Structure formats: C-alpha cells, structure tokens
Amino acid sequence: MDILITHGNLARTRSLQVRPLQLWLIGGFLLLLMLLLSGTIYHFIFLKAAREGWPVVSQIVRLVVRDEFQQRDRYMRENLDAMAQKVGEMQAKLIKLEAVGARVSGLAGLKAEELRALDAAAVGPAASAPVRVPAGPGRGGPYVPVQSPSLEQLHEALAQMDEQADHGSDVFTLVESRLLEKRLEMMMVPSIAPVAGPVGSSFGFRVDPFNGRAALHTGLDFPAETGTPIRAAAGGVVRSAAMDGAYGLSVEVDHGNGLVTRYAHSSKTLVKPGDVVRRGQNIALVGSTGRSTGPHLHFEVLLGGVPQNPARFLARGESLEAGAATAAATRPRGKARRAR
C-alpha cells in the first residue's frame, strides 16, 4: 500500500509505503487506544455524572444503562426473595425446635424460673422491653409482613435467628446436664432386681417361719438355687462383706446420701469392703447361711438405717406384685415360707 504526501504546488511529493502487517498493527493500536479512551471517559465522566446527578449527562447515562440497571435490580430482587423464603423456613424450624425444647425441659424437670432466667440473660434488657404503640383510634387486623424485605431486614432476621439458635443451644445443654444428673441419681438408687424371678416374701408383717409369731419382714425374699449370681441393685461402694449374725454371709453396699442395700444369706461373696461396684455387677452367690429355711436372697434397702420397702425402688424391674402373686400360686399349700 502506497501513501502519497504533498505540500504546496512546488513541493516535492513524498511516497510512503505501508505493508499489510504494519497496517494491521496500526489499526489494532488505534482500536486499543479508542477502547481505553472510551472506558476512561465512561468511568470518570459518565458514571460520576450519574452518581452526582449532572443535569444533562446523567439523564443520557441513565437512558443508556437503564436496561442494565433494571436487569441488575431484578436479579437482586429475585435473590432477596429466595433468601427471604429460606429465612422464613428457618424461622419455622426454630419455632418447632423451641417447642420441642419446652417439652423436653418439662420432662427433664427444669423449673420455669430457671428458663425465665435463661431467657432474660439471652435477650437482655433492651430486647425484653415491650414495644410501645402510640395512642390513637382503634386499630387491628392480622399482621402481614412485607413480601419483599430489604437486605437490612434480612440481616436483622438472621441476627435474631442466630440469637434464638444460641438460646436453644443453651437450653438443650441445660436439659442434657439435668438428664445426666437424673441418670446418675438413678444409677445410685436401687432400681433393678438383684435376682431374676418371683418374690417369695414381701416387705411388711408376716408369720415368722421359725416361731409362728407375727413379725416384721424388713426386706424382700427372692427364692433361687444355691450359687445363683446376686447383682448389685445400684452402683456404690461395698461397706461390708462378712458373716452378720442372722443375716449370715451378707454384703452391704453404700450408695451415698444414707442409702444402703443389704444382700443376705449368701453362700459366697465376690467383692470385698472398699470395692466400687456398678449397677448389675455380680457381688455374691445365693445361699442359705444365717437364719434361713432354704436357699434364697434376702434383699433390704435402708435409708438412714431405717428399713424401706424395696418394691418402691425396683420400679424398672419385673412387677413385684405380679411376681409375688405368681409365687403364691405356684407355692404348695401348708409349706412354710423361706425367711431371712
């Protein structure tokens, strides 16, 4: 490609030769320069005019980018609506979780004062203050929230849900602690029968099998074969494991708070004083030592040294009344009951 350059009538004409590659490079450079110049003008002049509201330029810019702004607003609105729907679903789940927490708290034995104190500590004085409605004519009707909340409202709702979640976590932690305390207390209270099977003699007055007189039976008798394992009705510390007069070879387990269980007439003890036993652990074998008419276990529960009815403690074992009725029905008439 030849380019002729002339200057005046008498001037010498100059010829400039441009190759295709050079022409493409020059065109590309000019195009890049125009792009940079247009981008600079757009960002530093038109956008600034649109933000600051220049009289003419801002209107031109808004007309040019109106569709872009509308599309962006529509996209943001759709995202906000989707977020609002998710927030509503999360709020519904939190309400259900709060209702479950209230029921579980009641089952765990939490007092209303403890929950109110926890609520007051969670919401604080500002949040617990009631909202004052200005006085005026009567107003009412159902509460219908705005369908398309703003981003600030969504942030506020998320913050409230975060506080509710923390509060629910505190409630369930307290419930878990209280249930664990109850479980530990249950493990330290005689709640399982030391020997499986029916009850021979229950707690209360009866005819003594040795002298035929009315006497108080201070425990429960579990007829069983000699050598049958005897389980600890609850966890505790072995207080004694030795011969004890009419009780014969017996084991006493201290469960704390003045609660003691006694397992009498054993043929052999499997523990020694000072041993820590768990509920259900074998501690002795059934026998007929001491004041006994035959092999059986005499089981006592003492609170502060006073004998208690063991049937009231064995709530989780086999029904003692049903066991006693079964034993009475299967026992031959006229045969003396086995005593301690």
| Residue/partner pairs of 170-173 with CB below 8 Å, 24 or more apart | 170/118, 170/122, 171/101, 171/105, 171/115, 171/118, 172/101, 172/104
Residue bearing the bigger pLDDT, 282 or 210: 282
What is the chain's alpha carbon radius of gyration, rounded to the nearest angstrom?
45
- Mean pLDDT computed over every residue of the chain: 76
- Reported in sequence order, the residue ranges of the chain that DSSP labels E, i.e. its strands, are 2-5, 14-17, 204-207, 214-217, 220-223, 229-231, 236-243, 249-256, 259-269, 276-277, 282-286, 296-303, 306-308
CA atoms within 13 A on the CB side of 180: 6
Average pLDDT over residues 22-38: 85
Which of 51-55, 81-85, 173-177, 281-285 has the weakest average pLDDT? Answer: 51-55
**pLDDT(250) > 90:** yes
Instruction: Select, from the ranges 4-13, 92-101, 200-209, 263-272, the one with the highest average predicted confidence (pLDDT).
Output: 263-272
Separation between Cα atoms, residue 104 and residue 101, nearest integer Å: 5
The SS3 of residue 294 is: coil
Instruction: Give counts: helices (H), strands (E), the chain.
Output: 6, 13
**Count of Cβ atoms closer than 10 Å to residue 174 Cβ:** 17
Contact at 8 Å (CB) between 44 and 57?
no
Residue 132: the pLDDT is: 47
pTM of the predicted structure, to 2 decimals: 0.49
**pLDDT(174) > 80:** no
Average pLDDT over residues 17-36: 83
Residue 113: the pLDDT is: 62
Whose structure tokens read 């590309």? Answer: 28
Average pLDDT over residues 45-64: 65
